[in-house]
């Protein structure tokens, strides 16, 4: 079985490639990544040497229709797993154009090429941010309406709908996943957890938006990868699956845990002006994937968060190349 993994040099994509190659021999992976700011070739360093012809990398833009079509003609892919996305909310607020180009146009190119070249499955990896903001109670289910708050989440919601339309129109075996906030190794340093860890290690201020009481539902990245494999192999075409670990924390509580683990003072926290359109709370109801596909998260936040913090502590050369 050969998979086309797009965005495989990013945080979740690189962890997924490592997970599938480690756990599902003799699967083959072709990794396509444009290596924009959050795509780091060092995230997949050593894979070619370790796995030989089971892994290959192509530096390319998924919106390049001619190249993507030729790649799918060359290989008989079982599935596309589409991680490729511009994903930082603040950057989308400053300029939405790249987000539309990659997240919507790129998805359309992949979907069309996969349909034309007979790729059996298409996994559109999305986000809980497409649902917008929750009040203090309740959780997002797969039938919750989408109400994106930022250009980033709007572009992801648009790609989701496009993917599902390809299933309805052409019968393509499309499945959409929407996951809560991921944490783990290889996450780009501008994201919340690595940014807080790195700033704390450097005794620099830790910027926290607003009052810090925005709530996010956190999942360890390897648990997300396991869920994606379950969807890849057994997910029902045309369906949406929410993926979450029932680990809600305010941003402020999360930052406190990071500082406490590192033995750093809490007065490093610096409250800053809130982000435009900042959603107050996300929470995922993942009962569908648990019941239908038998998946459940294995790593608890209480042990996986300290392990993640220690990964950044022990891999300074990796992030110092990105933010000297």
Q: Which residues pair with 59 in a beta bridge?
A: 33
CA gap 201, 292 in Å, rounded: 43
Q: What is the dihedral of CA 191, 197, 202, 207, to 10 degrees?
A: 50
Cis peptide bond prior to 26, omega within 30° of 0: yes
Query: Among this protein's residues, is 152 annotated catalytic?
Result: yes
CA gap 280, 277 in Å, rounded: 9
Spell out the residues 6+ positions from residue 119 whose beta carbon is closer than 8 angstroms to its own.
Answer: 4, 72, 77, 78, 79, 80, 113
Query: Among this protein's residues, is 128 annotated catalytic?
Result: yes
Residue from 51, 55, 131, 152 carrying the catalytic annotation: 152
Residue from 33, 86, 128, 172 carrying the catalytic annotation: 128
Give the start-end residues of each E strand in the chain.
Answer: 2-6, 28-33, 55-59, 79-82, 121-127, 173-179, 181-183, 206-209, 215-220, 240-243, 248-250, 269-272
Task: Write out the H or E segment, with its range, that includes residue 131.
Answer: none
Residue from 33, 61, 86, 129 carrying the catalytic annotation: 129
Query: Among this protein's residues, is 173 annotated catalytic?
Result: no
CA gap 154, 150 in Å, rounded: 6
Known catalytic residues? Answer: 128-129, 152
């Amino acid at each position: 079985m050969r998979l086309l993994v797009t965005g495989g040099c990013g945080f979740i994509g690189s962890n997924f490639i490592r997970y599938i190659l480690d756990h599902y021999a003799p699967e083959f992976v072709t990794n396509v990544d444009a290596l924009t700011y959050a795509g780091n070739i060092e995230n997949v360093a050593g894979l070619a040497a370790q796995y030989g012809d089971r892994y290959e990398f192509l530096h390319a833009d998924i919106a390049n229709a001619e190249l993507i079509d030729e790649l799918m003609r060359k290989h008989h892919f079982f599935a596309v797993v589409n991680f490729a996305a511009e994903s930082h909310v603040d950057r989308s607020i400053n300029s939405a154009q790249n987000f539309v180009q990659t997240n919507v146009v790129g998805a359309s190119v992949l979907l069309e090429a996969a349909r034309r070249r007979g790729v059996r499955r298409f996994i559109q990896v999305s986000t809980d941010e497409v649902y917008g903001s929750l009040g203090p109670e309740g959780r997002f289910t797969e039938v919750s309406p989408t109400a994106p708050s930022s250009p980033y989440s709007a572009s992801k919601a648009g790609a989701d709908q496009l993917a599902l339309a390809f299933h309805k129109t052409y019968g393509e075996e499309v499945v959409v996943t929407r996951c809560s906030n991921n944490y783990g190794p290889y996450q780009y340093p501008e994201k919340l957890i690595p940014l807080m860890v790195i700033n704390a290690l450097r005794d620099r201020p830790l910027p926290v938006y607003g009052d810090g009481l925005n709530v996010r539902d956190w999942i360890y990245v390897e648990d997300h990868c396991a869920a994606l494999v379950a969807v890849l192999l057994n997910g029902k075409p045309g369906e949406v699956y929410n993926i979450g670990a029932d680990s809600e924390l305010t941003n402020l509580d999360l930052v406190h845990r990071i500082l406490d683990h590192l033995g750093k003072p809490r007065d490093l926290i610096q409250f800053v002006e809130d982000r435009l359109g900042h959603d107050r709370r996300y929470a995922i109801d993942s009962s569908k994937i648990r019941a239908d596909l038998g998946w459940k998260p294995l790593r608890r936040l209480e042990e996986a968060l300290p392990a993640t913090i220690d990964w950044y502590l022990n891999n300074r050369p990796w992030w110092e190349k990105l933010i000297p």
